[in-house]
Chain A
Amino acid sequence: EAQVTQNPRYLITVTGKKLTVTCSQNMNHEYMSWYRQDPGLGLRQIYYSMNVEVTDKGDVPEGYKVSRKEKRNFPLILESPSPNQTSLYFCASSYTYNSPLHFGNGTRLTVT
């Protein structure tokens, strides 16, 4: 089944404790992206990747890192999480940057 898989689905952590949210797609998509969704603010792009080893900042990249060492994987790294990073995070992929996105089912992160 074609899908974007994110793990974990739920994560509670404390300020400053490094964490990684994994994202994997099995559709051989070139383009991958991370979004956060907050009430009243909608979906905002954090980082995107046009292909392996090619990443760039979205609209809200501060406090986040990404890497794209393999085509299928695009992990999101929070080196020192803070409470304002409490949010619902979505990974998405598509064949190219202007194709429709396929989204994962989200990771709900709480930073205390």
Chain B
Amino acid sequence: EDQVTQSPEALRLQEGESSSLNCSYTVSGLRGLFWYRQDPGKGPEFLFTLYSAGEEKEKERLKATLTKKESFLHITAPKPEDSATYLCAVQAGRGAQKLVFGQGTRLTINP
């Protein structure tokens, strides 16, 4: 069974304090790994797609990386507006029409 586990469940940082969020997965034939950001009261918003081990994508203070077993979302010098829940989802070979989501990491950046 395809599984996605995100850690930590919640993370509090001071403004400017860099850190990383983890997404571990066990799937049969990864077709793609997606990162989304979700603000309270809103739907998830797409950030990145990664397809193969070694791939990296960047956007402003965020950088996503992928290995064969996990993905990291690195946040550099975060600002309070980066506070949100970050969701990881994988699309696997069998049933590729489906996404399996992790439970998310709730990130809070204190000014």
Contact = CB atoms under 8 A, between A and B. Distances in A.
Given A48-B97, A98-B91, A98-B96, A42 B46 contact: no
Interface in A11-60: 31, 35, 40-45, 48, 50, 56, 58-59
A43 B36 CA distance: 12
Q: In this complex, which of A31, A100, A102 has the most chain B Cβ atoms within 10 angstroms of its Cβ?
A: A100
A109 interface: no
Contacts of B97: 31, 48, 50, 56, 97
B54 interface: no
Contact of B98 (A4, A41, A59, A106): A59
B96 A97 contact: yes
Interface residues of B, number: 22
A101 interface: yes
Interface residues of A, number: 25
B44 interface: yes
Contact of B103 (A4, A40, A97): A40
Interface of B: 31-32, 34, 36, 41-46, 49, 87, 89, 91, 96-99, 101-104
Given A101-B36, A101-B44, 17 more contacts: A4-B43, A43-B89, A43-B99, A48-B97, A50-B97, A58-B98, A97-B96, A98-B91, A100-B34, A100-B49, A101-B34, A102-B46, A103-B44, A104-B43, A105-B41, A105-B43, A106-B42
Interface of A: 4, 31, 35, 40-45, 48, 50, 56, 58-59, 90, 92, 97-98, 100-106
